[in-house]
Amino acid sequence: MSPSVNDRVAGAALGIAAWLCGGISLLILIWVGVEAIPALNNDPGISSLLGDAHWLPGSVREPQFGMLPILAGSVLVTIFSIIPATVAGVGCAVFQRFYAPKWMRTFLRRVLELLAGIPSVVIGFWGLVVLVPILQKWQPPGQSLAAAAIVLAIMILPTVALTASTALKNVSPGLFRAAAALGMGRARTILGVALPTARRGIAGGVILAAARAIGETMAVVMVCGNVAQWPGSIFDPIRPATATIALEMSYATAGHRSVLFALAFFLVLVVGAAVGWIAFRKPSTPHRR
Amino acid sequence: MIGGAARLSRNDRLLGAAGGFAALVVLVGFGAIVFDLFQTGTASLSIPFLVGKVENGGRAGGIGPVLISTGMILLVCLAVALPLGTGCAIWLSEFASKIRFARAITAGIDLLASVPSIVFGLFGMVFFCRTLGLGFSITSGGLTLACMILPIVIRTTLIGLSGAPSNLRPGAAALGLSRVSTIRHLLLPVAIPGVVVGTTLGISRALAETAALIFTSGYATRWPEGFDDSGRAISVHIYDLAMNVPGGAANAAASALVLLLALLFINYLATLLADRWLLKRIAPTSE
Amino acid sequence: MITVENLSIHYGNLAAVRDVSLDIPEGKITAVVGPSGCGKSSFLASLNRLTDLIPGAKVAGEIRLNGKSDIVNDPGLDLLELRRTVGMVFQKPNPFPLSIRKNFELPLLEHGISKREIPGRIESTLREVGLWDEISDRLDESAENLSGGQQQRLCIARALALRPKVILFDEPCSALDPLASGVVEDHIAALRGKVTVVIVTHNLAQARRIADEVALFWVRDGAGCVIETGPANTIFDRPKDPDAALYFSGARG
């Protein structure tokens, strides 16, 4: 074969690989979406999903599919994990960038990277055998929204801290020189100049972390208590969407199964929209940089 | 250093203390997790545990079949994701002549990277197990994981390829070198570090994965008889022992320790390789 | 002989070159001069279709090599063969990050030269650019260890090894120090009569020294075009175009 024919063959083969890779997400949307159609259509139908008071999919006489408590569980656990993770993560990044000695800076980054690498099932297991018993003594039953939020916060903290650290690093040195020339103290420079300048990057990291939290399954399912209810307090058990899918898919049939796929489809849309928004949001206006 | 390094005001010190406290929490938290797992896991950890068969639902015996299944799932995953991912990256960087197409594919890959792992599990269950008729098997699990790590492999390979000197491609084209030769002799050597880092990161992601495997490769604890056999990965084993097997916590802890050690090692390797080879081109992880 | 007729080059909606017609005589050195941003390099890149590498670049018009098939429009054109026939040397030396020998082997093997012939070609072309005595004992060392001037001569030798009919030079001396620049210029001048040379240069003095023919590019209506052509020994003294007169006298551009 001549070289130019080779090129065309290789180009076609690699092109197929590329379209295949790009097409997988479409396959996922279609295959999961198709399974979700009955649930949204009439089995049990949207009115049931939003209108039913309870989540009792297994009830023989009168199954109920009220998924609002489940969605609320997802949203609540995300909010309660993202707040401490943001505070601690940004604090950690500020300390790492502006206060820590050089050796500690690298050390902290390594620890954060290792923390990010701990698999969710291991953190969940730790939560189950260490964290939950502690909570149980204090505020039974232990497996609760609080436990899930703490475990999730540990999991997403590295994402927040590492992106915040990178964003702070990208603040132009000229700004720091200007602040120093104005006689500004370190705290004021950080709070008034560095953090506002880096806020886009930090916000991006927080949203990524939130997307991860709402989509996380294993760590949550092991510590959240798995009761599909509106939690009365932060120490009540909950059952977020991911946990519901993981626990019920193995025995779900017909409409119930379809509802689980609808939950999954919904998760893809929410997470995809969040990540897509970060990727495509408009560049900040020049005067803010 | 910023803001008067010599003398810190009270506010400066207060902010430093707050940040330091956050860092301390992270360090202590990380230390606690690792320490707890060591403490609870080392008791049952031994060579017979690593090679023995699973007995009494995992309460007794070892994790030999689980490790074999995990390895086989990983093998399927890499055998598919590596050629597909590097091929995709090479096409995007060297062949894609229409920017529209490249953008569409990149958007698809970005979306893929954001899909929650439980959704991969459901997709694998309906697409690989049922539509393609592969059943609950190591192959189905491996293919599902391959979809999951593709974005990682593609991204790091692209970063590697972007490291090629900018005058390499026109130089090669001006000598009438075919694209195939240009890629094979000039670009791949430059891209290989990216591929290696991507592979390591991909392995670590795949090893850590549980949710995508529960509904694809299944729960079987016997020695796997082939790629079409069901087999549980180590992460699934930990989950099952902790949640569904009363009295399984000790062996779950030992398995978790095995997984944690393997991952800490692989991630350390990945960071080391990334720092050395890709330098500052992987933005979020570099100093 | 290269005949260029009504050549236009667009990048997206932006015209880089408009309606250029030019005859480039065989075996001579043709210098393309003009102020920066007037489309000289785009013009040069269209002669071996390196414009294909620039996303969004569109070329219209005709370019014929020795009256044969049209470089711009012929659908059956073998691009790799075209680039073997029409070699190119860039502003910044661009040896591959491989050994000096590999730098030759890679393109030679690609174009079907047998392994036995290669050592002879390497020696003869390295002699042509005066490098053989300097580097014959380190052919297996990395080409990146050579000095800038040596690298550029290596790139010329690498192009010559493919026995091209034409070599395009895109400001080949402007990234080199004056001494190395002089050496490279001498070796380009020595190519006269052996291959057709088209050289883009900012340096009018250089054009005066080595060119047989000169084409002056200028920006008119937002795009590059040729405003003056002629033999090098007369064009500088009696330009017809008023801009050309000012440019050659050093008052413009």
What are C146-204's pLDDT values in tens digits? 999 999 999 999 999 999 999 999 999 988 999 999 999 999 999 999 999 999 998 89
Rounded Cα–Cα distance for residues A4 and C111 (Å): 11
**Phi-psi map region of A226: left, alpha, beta (phi>0 left; psi -120 to 50 alpha):** left
Residue A280 predicted with pLDDT over 80 = no
CB A225 within 8 A of CB A143: yes
- Dig out the tokens for A287 from the structure: 């005067």
Rounded mean pLDDT, C52-79:
86
Rounded mean pLDDT, C47-62:
89
Q: Which of B158, B116, B122 is nearest to B140 (CA)?
A: B122
Residue C213 predicted with pLDDT over 80 = yes
- Residue B4: the pLDDT is 47
To test the contact with chain C by mutation, choose from B175, B185, B188, B190 the residue with the greatest count of C C-beta atoms within 10 A, namely B175
3-state secondary structure of B42: coil
pLDDT per position as a tens digit, B192-203: 888 888 898 899
Q: Does B175 touch chain C (CB under 8 A)?
A: yes
- Residue A289: the pLDDT is 36
Q: Does B181 touch chain C (CB under 8 A)?
A: yes
- Residue B287: the pLDDT is 32
Angle at A106 between CA A103 and CA A110, to 5 degrees: 135
- Dig out the tokens for A78 from the structure: 């995300």
- Residue B267: the pLDDT is 84
To test the contact with chain A by mutation, choose from C80, C84, C106, C113 the residue with the greatest count of A C-beta atoms within 10 A, namely C80
Distance from C44 to chain B by nearest Cα, in Å?
A: 12
What's at C237, amino acid-wise? D
Would you place residue A284 in the very low, low, confident or very high pLDDT band (cuts 50, 70, 90)? low
Q: Which residue of B has its CA nearest to A15?
A: B91
Q: B178 vs C158: CB contact, 8 Å cut-off?
A: no
Rounded Cα–Cα distance for residues A109 and A103 (Å): 10
Residue C234 predicted with pLDDT over 90 = no
To test the contact with chain A by mutation, choose from B105, B118, B143 the residue with the greatest count of A C-beta atoms within 10 A, namely B118
Q: Does A5 touch chain C (CB under 8 A)?
A: no
User: How far is Cα of residue B240 from the mean position of the Cα atoms in its chain?
Assistant: 21
Rounded mean pLDDT, B63-84:
95
The CATH classification number of B67-282 equals 1.10.3720.10
pLDDT mean across residues, chain C: 91
To test the contact with chain A by mutation, choose from B26, B136, B203 the residue with the greatest count of A C-beta atoms within 10 A, namely B26
Mention every residue, 6+ apart, whose C-beta is less than 8 A from residue B225. none
Rounded Cα–Cα distance for residues B181 and A1 (Å): 13
Rounded Cα–Cα distance for residues A129 and A150 (Å): 14
Distance from C110 to chain B by nearest Cα, in Å?
A: 6
Contact residues, chain C, for B184 at CB < 8 Å: none
Q: B15 vs A121: CB contact, 8 Å cut-off?
A: no
Rounded Cα–Cα distance for residues A209 and A200 (Å): 14
Q: How many residues does chain B have?
A: 287
Rounded Cα–Cα distance for residues B202 and B146 (Å): 9
- Dig out the tokens for C84 from the structure: 């073997």
3-state secondary structure of B214: helix
CB A245 within 8 A of CB A147: no
pLDDT per position as a tens digit, B89-128: 999 998 887 788 898 999 999 999 999 999 999 999 999 9
Rounded Cα–Cα distance for residues B234 and B236 (Å): 5
Residue A286 predicted with pLDDT over 50 = no
Residue B280 predicted with pLDDT over 60 = no
- Dig out the tokens for B278 from the structure: 């890709």
Residue B8 predicted with pLDDT over 80 = no
Q: How many residues does chain A have?
A: 289
Contact residues, chain B, for A264 at CB < 8 Å: 116, 118-119, 122
Residue B3 predicted with pLDDT over 70 = no
Q: Are strands A55-56 and A64-65 parallel, antiparallel or unpaired?
A: antiparallel
Contact residues, chain B, for C55 at CB < 8 Å: 97, 99
Contact residues, chain C, for A4 at CB < 8 Å: 78-80
Element (H or E) spanning A19, and its range?
A: helix A3-41
Residue B282 predicted with pLDDT over 50 = no
The residues that bridge with C112 in the sheet, in sequence order, are none
Q: Which of C179, C180, C199 is nearest to C189 (CA)?
A: C199
Neighbouring CB atoms inside 10 A of B221's CB total: 23
pLDDT per position as a tens digit, A105-163: 989 988 898 888 899 999 999 999 999 999 999 988 889 999 999 999 999 999 999 99
Element (H or E) spanning C89, and its range?
A: strand C86-89
Distance from B115 to chain A by nearest Cα, in Å?
A: 6
Compare CB distances from B177 to C52, C87, C110 and report the shortest one's residue: C110
Compare CB distances from C90 to B167, B186, B190 and report the shortest one's residue: B167
Contact residues, chain A, for B204 at CB < 8 Å: 117
Chain B 245-284, residues with CB within 8 Å of chain A CB atoms: 249, 252-253, 256, 259-260, 263-264, 266-268, 271, 283-284
Distance from A1 to chain C by nearest Cα, in Å?
A: 12
- Dig out the tokens for C188 from the structure: 């380009």
Residue B2 predicted with pLDDT over 70 = no
pLDDT per position as a tens digit, B54-72: 988 888 888 999 999 999 9
- Dig out the tokens for C201 from the structure: 């240069």
CB C187 within 8 A of CB C172: no
Q: Does A117 touch chain C (CB under 8 A)?
A: no
Q: C92 vs B168: CB contact, 8 Å cut-off?
A: no
Bigger pLDDT: A198 vs B284: A198
Q: Which of A230, A240, A78, A237 is nearest to A144 (CA)?
A: A237
Chain B 4-43, residues with CB within 8 Å of chain C CB atoms: none
To test the contact with chain B by mutation, choose from A29, A121, A169 the residue with the greatest count of B C-beta atoms within 10 A, namely A121
Q: Which of C88, C16, C20, C99 is nearest to C48 (CA)?
A: C88
Q: A3 vs C79: CB contact, 8 Å cut-off?
A: no
- Residue C250: the pLDDT is 82
- Dig out the tokens for B272 from the structure: 């080391």
Residue B5 predicted with pLDDT over 60 = no
Residue A194 predicted with pLDDT over 70 = yes
pLDDT mean across residues, chain B: 88
Rounded mean pLDDT, B235-246:
92
pLDDT mean across residues, chain A: 89
Distance from B226 to chain A by nearest Cα, in Å?
A: 23
- Contacts by residues C181-189 (CB-CB < 8 Å, ≥ 24 positions apart): C181/C149, C183/C130, C183/C149, C183/C153, C184/C149, C184/C152, C184/C153, C184/C156, C185/C209, C185/C210, C187/C128, C187/C129, C187/C130, C187/C153, C187/C156, C188/C29, C188/C156, C189/C29
Rounded Cα–Cα distance for residues A158 and A104 (Å): 16
CB A124 within 8 A of CB A151: yes
- Residue A14: the pLDDT is 94
Would you place residue A206 in the very low, low, confident or very high pLDDT band (cuts 50, 70, 90)? very high
- Contacts by residues B258-263 (CB-CB < 8 Å, ≥ 24 positions apart): B258/B41, B258/B45, B258/B50, B258/B63, B258/B234, B259/A119, B259/A121, B259/A122, B259/B207, B259/B208, B259/B234, B259/B235, B260/A118, B260/A119, B260/A122, B260/B34, B260/B37, B262/B207, B263/A117, B263/A118, B263/A119, B263/B204, B263/B207, B263/B208
Rounded mean pLDDT, C91-116:
92
Bigger pLDDT: A183 vs A266: A266
Rounded Cα–Cα distance for residues B124 and B141 (Å): 7
Structural domains in chain A, sorted by start: 64-280 (1.10.3720.10)
CB A97 within 8 A of CB A150: no
Q: C48 vs B174: CB contact, 8 Å cut-off?
A: yes
Element (H or E) spanning B55, and its range?
A: strand B54-55
Q: A122 vs B256: CB contact, 8 Å cut-off?
A: yes
CB C219 within 8 A of CB C14: no
Q: Which of B276, B221, B283, B264 is nearest to B31 (CA)?
A: B264
Number of inter-chain CB pairs under 8 A, B vs C: 68
pLDDT per position as a tens digit, B126-168: 999 999 999 999 999 999 999 999 999 999 999 888 888 888 8
Q: Does B83 touch chain A (CB under 8 A)?
A: yes
C-alpha distances in Å from residue A133, one per residue of A80, A125, B30, B38: 20, 12, 19, 18
Global pTM reads 0.86
Neighboring chains of C (3 or more beta-carbon pairs < 8 A): A, B
Q: C50 vs B167: CB contact, 8 Å cut-off?
A: no
The residues that bridge with C51 in the sheet, in sequence order, are none
Residue A48 predicted with pLDDT over 90 = no
Rounded Cα–Cα distance for residues C193 and C216 (Å): 23
Q: Does B43 touch chain A (CB under 8 A)?
A: no
Compare CB distances from C158 to B167, B175, B181 and report the shortest one's residue: B175
Would you place residue C47 in the very low, low, confident or very high pLDDT band (cuts 50, 70, 90)? very high
Q: Which of A94, A151, A92 is nearest to A127 (CA)?
A: A151
- Residue C253: the pLDDT is 65
Residue C206 predicted with pLDDT over 60 = yes
Compare CB distances from A11 to B95, B208, B267 and report the shortest one's residue: B95
Distance from C183 to chain A by nearest Cα, in Å?
A: 35
CB B216 within 8 A of CB B125: yes
Q: A4 vs C80: CB contact, 8 Å cut-off?
A: yes
**Phi-psi map region of B27: left, alpha, beta (phi>0 left; psi -120 to 50 alpha):** alpha
Residue A285 predicted with pLDDT over 50 = no
- Residue B43: the pLDDT is 85
Burial state string for C29-52 with b = 16 or more CB within 10 A and e = fewer than 16: bbbbbbbeebbbbbbbbbbbbbbe
Rounded Cα–Cα distance for residues C131 and C139 (Å): 11
C-alpha distances in Å from residue C64, one per residue of A13, C40, C72, C74, C193: 34, 18, 8, 10, 20
For chain C, give the percent of residues with pLDDT over 70: 100
